[in-house]
Amino acid sequence: MPTVRFRDAEIDCERGDTLRDVLRAAGLTPHNGRADTVNCRGLGSCGTCAVRVDGAVSPPTRRERLRLRVPPHDPDAGLRLACQTTVEGDVTVAKHPGFWGQHVDDDPE
């Protein structure tokens, strides 16, 4: 059973679970500020659930790659959309500042 580490939490989940769903089921959010209310609800179109992920996850989906090419995101920033990423093993997740979590040069929350 994989473990997702996010902020001060460690969450056990099933392999293949969507990262966004794992976080939300634990009462956490992959969004910053108002983006927690104003988002696409996991459709991969808004880009507000962008996070840094270290560990075993699925490859980026086509939808995810396309969305992360649209500003304010930078496709070379190494971010993933939590709603398009499935957990395949233990992972550590970090959320950077900014409405979309796009400020990768700033310390993550």
Query: Per the structure block, which two tokens stand in for 17?
Result: 């679970």
49 domain-assigned:
yes
CA-CA distance, 42 to 83, in Å (whole number)?
A: 5
Residue indicated by tokens 């902020």: 7
Total domains in the fold of the chain:
1
61 domain-assigned:
yes
109 domain-assigned:
no
Helix (H, G, I), strand (E, B) or coil at 9: strand
Query: Per the structure block, which two tokens stand in for 75?
Result: 């496709």
State the average pLDDT over residues 55-82. 96
25-50 per-position pLDDT tens digit = 999 999 999 999 999 999 999 999 99
Q: What domain range includes position 10? A: 3-94
104 domain-assigned:
no
pTM above 0.85, yes or no: yes
CATH code (residue 85): 3.10.20.30
Is pLDDT at 107 greater than 90 in this prediction? no
Is pLDDT at 108 greater than 80 in this prediction? no
21 domain-assigned:
yes
Longest dimension (CA), the chain: 36
